[in-house]
Amino acid sequence: MRFCYFKTLPSTQLYLLQQIKDGALDLPVCVVARHQSSGIASRHQVWESVEKALTFSFAYPLGDLSPNVPPQSWSVYFGYLFKQSLQTPSVWLKWPNDLYKGKAKIGGLMTQICQNTLVCGIGLNLEASQYGALGDVDTADLLERFFNTLESKPSWQSVLEPYSLEFKANHHDLHFKQGDQRIFFKDACLLEDGGLLIGDKKYYGYR
């Protein structure tokens, strides 16, 4: 993995997507910014800046990643593996793409496909006076652990099995938004492809 470090960027995700469209960067690559002035989140929201955060986006050719991950579940796949790399038992992944420490949201991720390239952006609060935060961490070691894990191409099943156990433990009193609706997790069944079955409807986390 090649790293490109910046003091500040409007958005690591938008920067990397544009570089891929322009053919300006060799893959795989990871863009890291100490500060984002206009970070983006899923559902077209803005990721608020905090006192200290780890914000980065990375890109792999689709053929370089584990071949059996359902395309609608890349955020679950990357989110769980990143959560594991944090080595912090109190951190968990809220389906499909939010990172929590206890009951506080501390980060999130989003995935997009551009020109047969998968681009994933991750934001993790390290210090935040008004939001949840992980606390201090050696970000260089964290990134090394995470990308070493990705290089080993873990199978989808090796992620789904432990995540399904954590899902049952953490989601019973929570909900997610689908348009203007609040959908509650309490009756949800996590499917083999990473989607949710609630009643007779299936939901997928295209984020």
24: exposed, middle or buried (Cβ count in 10 Å: 0-12, 13-18, 19+): exposed
Compute the mean pLDDT over every residue in the chain, rounded to the nearest whole number: 93
- Min mean pLDDT across 79-88, 144-153, 198-207 is at 198-207
pLDDT > 70: what percent of the chain?
Answer: 94
pTM of structure: 0.92
9: three-class secondary structure by DSSP:
strand
Q: What is the pLDDT of residue 47?
A: 58
Q: What is the pLDDT of residue 51?
A: 86
Contact 150, 156 (CB under 8 A): no
161: three-class secondary structure by DSSP:
helix
35: three-class secondary structure by DSSP:
strand
Q: What is the pLDDT of residue 170?
A: 93
Residue corresponding to tokens 């955020």: 75
What mean pLDDT comes out for the span 128-134? 91
How far, rounded to the nearest angstrom, does the alpha carbon of residue 136 sit from its chain's CA centroid? Answer: 19
For each of the domains in the chain, give its residue range(s) and CATH number, in order of start: 2-154 (3.30.930.10)
CA atoms within 13 A on the CB side of 70: 16
| Burial annotation 167-176 (CB, 10 A radius, 16+ → b, else e) | beebbeeeeb
Which residue type does 53 have?
A: A
pLDDT tens for each residue of 4-48: 999 999 999 999 999 999 999 999 999 999 999 866 655 455 556
Token pair, residue 89, equals 């038992």
Instruction: Outline where DSSP puts E strands in the chain.
Output: 2-9, 29-36, 52-61, 91-94, 98-101, 104-114, 117-127, 175-178, 181-184, 189-190, 196-198, 201-203
H or E element in which residue 149 lies: helix 139-151
Length of the chain: 207
pLDDT tens for each residue of 180-203: 888 899 889 999 999 999 999 999
- Min mean pLDDT across 28-42, 103-117, 124-138, 150-164 is at 28-42
Angle at CA 93, nearest 5°, toward 9 and 125?
35
Residue corresponding to tokens 């968990």: 92
Pairing of strands 52-61, 91-94: unpaired
Residue 148 and residue 70: Cα distance in Å, rounded?
A: 21
Q: What is the pLDDT of residue 180?
A: 83
pLDDT > 90: what percent of the chain?
Answer: 80
What mean pLDDT comes out for the span 110-114? 96
